[in-house]
């Protein structure tokens, strides 16, 4: 195991590659394939505009419902190149000198701006839906099990799948194998407001997943997220057991990325997950051009006890208790300062109406805002706060504590006026 591979697997290292073997040529080929698909669907004028302004404006020409057609046209062309390139990364960068495996499940991730995805029909695809070999898809559909608690539509508040984004997770929670290495390849420029999000300080720590979504359960305070802006063609390589998420696309631009996965050894799965990515290509077959050869590693036959190689430090889940207020006739709510701990950076307050508010202390400044993100009602008590901002712990949306505003005009926090009196704190919702 070379030093880079060891660092990825054992410490959660992630890094960006700009010009590995054939990387630029494959990026250009993918971009050309998307332009060809766009021409076929809506005509040459759209293509000319995208060639001028870039694929980040794809949403201006193709409705979200057309993304399925783009993927179905582009991915059969690109998958062989992606498998070969992934194999080259395994050997040339990660030093894998024995047979290893490449996941048959590949994804062309096309994330439209949130405001656009929100207007899509339910028939438009989730940006995280991938493509497999057709025969593999039939086999996977016939064997895949489902936990009755798993309900991603409920988690996403029944919004259109085209507007969805991944919450914080580890890939083993969502059916992927242990010891995996993810390749995430930007096909156009990625900005912070539509990027991948990492939480490096969480690596090696055990968190619980919510079975409804397979994302991080509520009650875990997260550190400041690292948002990975990338240039078109740059490749992000990372350990998917590092807690990571997708930024809700508040950039106003389409984000496009291609992804694949390496396993240095035969895939093993966490028995706690109800399904598994069972279908893989051997590096030896890929090198011989045998893309049609697929090996199945059945979930029930390839479990691995997580304690064997992943002795993670447990993290305590916090149950927040709200401090009640009393209503006054002038529209203000009040509570005794004796009920507050003014040394804490945040405290949960419950108004007489039942609404909950968070009182944030940022240095010498104070602010009060609604307690949940208006996107999916995620508890902001779990989010990082600093420099006058609070970060949603689900999808990285940043809110200004003074104004409540975010990068999206659709997402704004209710803010509150505060009055500190000798023994009392008073607060009132701003109009």
User: In CATH, which of 1.10.357, 2.10.70, 2.60.120, 2.70.98 is domain 3-314?
Assistant: 2.60.120
Burial 199-216 (b: 16+ CB within 10 A, else e): beebbeeebebbbebbbb
Cβ-Cβ contacts under 8 Å for 246 (sequence gap 6 or more)? 111, 127, 128, 165, 166, 196, 197, 395
What residue segments make up the domains of the chain, in order of their start?
Answer: 3-314, 323-429
What tens digit of pLDDT does each residue of 127-162 get? Answer: 999 999 888 877 776 666 778 899 999 999 999 999
Structure tokens at 149: 């608690």
What is the average pLDDT score of the chain?
A: 95
Across the range 391-399, mean pLDDT stands at: 98
Question: What CATH superfamily classification does 323-429 receive?
Answer: Rieske [2Fe-2S] iron-sulphur domain (2.102.10.10)
Share of the chain above pLDDT 70, in %: 98
Q: Is the pLDDT of residue 308 over 60?
A: no
What tens digit of pLDDT does each residue of 52-66 get? Answer: 999 999 999 999 999
What pLDDT score does 304 carry? 87
- CA of 239: how far to CAs of 169, 170, 203, 422, in Å? 12, 9, 10, 52
Across the range 298-310, mean pLDDT stands at: 77
Assign 35 to helix, strand or coil.
helix
Q: Is the pLDDT of residue 1 over 80?
A: no
- Say what angle helices 23-42 and 67-92 make with each other, to 10 degrees: 170
Across the range 387-402, mean pLDDT stands at: 97
What pLDDT score does 312 carry? 85
φ and ψ at 83, to 5 degrees? -65, -45
Q: pTM for the full model?
A: 0.95
What pLDDT score does 364 carry? 86
CA distance 314 to 401: 31
Lookup result for tokens 């006026």: 417
What tens digit of pLDDT does each residue of 345-392 get? Answer: 999 999 999 999 999 998 889 999 999 999 999 999 999 999 999 999
Q: Is the pLDDT of residue 310 over 60?
A: no
What pLDDT score does 306 carry? 64
DSSP annotation of 198 reads E
What pLDDT score does 329 carry? 83
């Amino acid at each position: 195991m070379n030093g880079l591979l060891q660092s990825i697997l054992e410490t959660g290292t992630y890094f960006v590659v700009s010009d590995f073997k054939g990387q630029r040529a494959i990026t250009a080929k993918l971009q050309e394939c998307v332009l060809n698909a766009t021409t076929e669907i809506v005509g040459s004028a759209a293509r000319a505009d995208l060639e001028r302004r870039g694929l980040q404006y794809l949403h201006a020409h193709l409705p979200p419902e057309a993304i399925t057609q783009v993927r179905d046209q582009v991915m059969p062309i690109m998958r062989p190149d992606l498998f070969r390139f992934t194999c080259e990364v395994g050997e040339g960068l990660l030093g894998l000198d024995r047979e290893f495996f490449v996941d048959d499940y590949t994804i062309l991730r096309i994330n439209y701006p949130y405001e656009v995805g929100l207007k899509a029909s339910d028939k438009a695809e989730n940006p995280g839906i991938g493509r497999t070999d057709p025969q593999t898809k039939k086999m996977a559909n016939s064997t895949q099990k489902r936990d009755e608690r798993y309900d991603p539509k409920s988690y996403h508040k029944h919004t259109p799948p085209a507007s969805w984004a991944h919450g914080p997770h580890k890939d083993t929670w969502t059916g992927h194998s242990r010891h995996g290495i993810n390749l995430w390849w930007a096909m156009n420029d990625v900005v912070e407001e539509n990027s991948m999000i990492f939480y490096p300080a969480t690596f090696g720590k055990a968190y619980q997943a919510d079975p409804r979504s397979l994302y991080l359960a509520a009650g875990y305070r997260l550190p400041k997220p690292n948002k990975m802006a990338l240039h078109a063609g740059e490749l992000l390589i990372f350990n998917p057991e590092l807690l990571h998420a997708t930024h809700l696309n508040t950039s106003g631009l389409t984000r496009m990325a291609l992804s694949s996965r390496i396993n240095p050894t035969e895939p093993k799965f966490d028995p706690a997950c109800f399904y598994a990515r069972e279908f893989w290509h051997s590096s030896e077959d890929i090198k011989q051009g045998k893309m049609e050869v697929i090996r199945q590693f059945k979930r029930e036959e390839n479990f691995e006890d997580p304690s064997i190689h992943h002795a993670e430090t447990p993290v305590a889940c916090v149950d927040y208790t709200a401090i009640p207020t009393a209503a006054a006739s002038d529209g203000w709510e009040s509570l005794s300062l004796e009920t507050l701990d003014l040394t804490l950076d945040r405290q949960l307050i419950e108004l007489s109406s039942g609404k909950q508010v968070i009182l944030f202390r940022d240095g010498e400044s104070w602010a009060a805002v609604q307690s949940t993100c208006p996107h999916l009602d995620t508890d902001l008590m779990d989010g990082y706060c600093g420099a006058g901002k609070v970060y949603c712990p689900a999808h990285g949306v940043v809110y200004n504590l003074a104004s409540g505003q975010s990068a999206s005009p659709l997402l704004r926090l209710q803010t509150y006026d505060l009055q500190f009196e000798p023994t009392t704190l008073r607060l009132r919702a701003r109009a």
